[in-house]
Amino acid sequence: MKKGLMASMIALSLFVILACSNDTNQIDSFMHIHGLEYSQHDESIFLATHMGLINLNEDSWELVGEPEHQHDFMGYTIIDEDVMISSGHPGVRSDYVDPLGVIISNDSGETWEPIALYKEVDFHLLHVNEGNQEFMYGIDVYNSNLYRSKNGGYDWEMVDTTGLPGPVASVLSLTSHPQSPDYLLAGTETGLYESSDGGQTWALKESNLSASSFQTLDSDSEDLVAYLFGEKEGLYFSEDFGETWASLYFRVDDDYIMYISNHPTDDQMLVLGSMKQSIYETKDFGKTWEVLAEEGNIKN
């Protein structure tokens, strides 16, 4: 993986293909996802893309909202039943100015408005702490800076960082401990790094192991799922926030899992999104898998 992953991610970001049926929001295919999350209401999945937010369910895959709210979503997460936080660039029909900064939706993605850092940052990584959702971290690719919020994304401070092996914007994945939001893990091209002070200082944790994606599973445990590369490669589960790992015996060839989401009420359900736009779902915590989309093509 190493240097090849970052090069592939940059190459993919240079183009977008999104096919829609005439006069509807229904999606036939998609390209370039930047986040995915299970709905808080059912088993459907929300997919953040360059051309808007897509809702995936058994019956249809549809763009959410009117054209003026179909933005180029980058960092993306769901923080409550109908509340979503994101970042990125305004859609072609939007009156907003680039970059969007931090934007919020209170109606499951139908409408969006900026709440912080408007016209200042473009968070390609946006992480919300599992145990205390007031704590958030964002990685701005415009100026390669780490930001931190302690009030649900309404106010942010830039974090002066030391110890990472490269620019902050080169970090591949980021997560925080559910009970200790100042303790962070970051996956980089050259290893797994940790910080105990909210991202100010970093130290190498594993030189032969890193992660392209993380997902903490609940607020009361140290359970963590990650897609690892290095001396271990594939989807792994940890009960001690990355101190030890157990394989879930899932890996993708010539591809990497960039996004992981767990269902809010069913602890057996996981959905994964890959760098090459494939989507995989398990309903038995990795024993069996279904391919929902393959390289941007929806599986019917």
> Does residue 221 lie within any of the structural domains?
yes
Q: Map residue 81 onto helix, strand or coil.
A: coil
- 167 in a domain, yes or no? yes
- Show the 3-state SS of 146-204: EEEECCCCCCCEEECCECCCCCHHHCCEEEECCCCCCCEEEEECCEEEEECCCCCECEE
User: For 181, phi and psi rounded to 5 degrees?
Assistant: -65, -10
Instruction: Assess if residue 4 is contained within a domain.
Output: no
Residue tagged 């139908």 (tokens) = 110
Residue 2 lies in a domain: no
Q: Write the CATH number for 125.
A: 2.130.10.10
Distances (CA, A) of 230 to 36, 91, 194, 208: 25, 38, 17, 5
Residue-range definition of the domain harbouring residue 92: 33-298
Q: Is 11 part of a structural domain of the chain? A: no
Q: Determine, yes or no, domain membership for 27.
A: no
Q: What is the pLDDT of residues 245-283, one digit of tens each?
A: 999 999 999 999 999 999 999 999 999 999 999 999 999
Residues 172-215 have pLDDT tens digits of 999 999 999 999 999 999 999 999 999 999 999 999 999 999 99
With respect to residue 207, please indicate whether it lies within any of the assigned structural domains: yes
Q: 213 lies in a domain?
A: yes
Quote the number of domains for the chain: 1
Question: What is the pLDDT tens value at each position of the chain, 300 positions in all?
Answer: 555 555 554 444 433 334 444 446 888 888 789 999 999 999 999 999 988 999 998 768 999 999 999 999 999 999 998 999 999 999 999 999 999 999 999 999 999 999 999 999 999 999 999 999 999 999 999 999 999 999 999 999 999 999 999 999 999 999 999 999 999 999 999 999 999 999 999 999 999 999 999 999 999 999 999 999 999 999 999 999 999 999 999 999 999 999 999 999 999 999 999 999 999 999 999 999 999 999 998 887
